[in-house]
A = this chain, B = another copy of it.
Amino acid sequence: MEATSAAGGFKVHAETVTVQTEQRVELVDLTERIMSYARATGIREGLGHIWSMHTTCAVFINEAQHALHADIKSFLEQMVARDAEWLHNDPDHSDCDRFNADSHLRAMLLGHHLTLQVTSGEIVLGQWQRILIAELDGPRARTLRVQVMGI
């Protein structure tokens, strides 16, 4: 799905991005895909927006480093134990059979969206900043919506 609308020089472009994850908990670097898309819209000044279409898949900023990504996974495990007695995982209280309360709580901490500035036709990111998604209940096919608006 792709959409483009314009009025008086103001434009909105939007696109669906899909990601196939391979593990239950996995970080994927989407920076290049998002930056390429933003560039292709031709919008010079405005905002970009990335939305995860899932409750258990987060979008956030951090450095792309193998050791740090291992730390992020450890940290999420420390913060939200998978095997705690969550009601969402209890058949007496929930009809969800994915046993994924931890995924919901971890995604809530990281957040489901990013808003980014576009300046001179480029997404604004610092030297070490990368646009990451956190798969928290995979492996799955995940869908994100990316929008760029401006002039």
Q: Measuring CB to CB, which residues of chain A are less than 8 angstroms from any residue of chain B?
A: 3, 5-10, 12, 14, 44-47, 49, 51-55, 60-63, 65-68, 70-72, 74-75, 79-80, 86-88, 90, 93-94, 96, 101, 104-105, 107-117, 119-120, 124-129, 143, 145, 147, 149-151
Contact = CB atoms under 8 A, between A and B. Distances in A.
A88 B117 contact: no
A70 B87 contact: yes
Contacts of A45: 3, 5, 12, 14, 149
Contact of A8 (B9, B94, B119): B9
6 contacts: A10-B151, A54-B126, A54-B129, A60-B111, A61-B108, A65-B96
B112 A61 contact: yes
B52 A126 contact: yes
Contact of A86 (B71, B108, B125, B145): B71
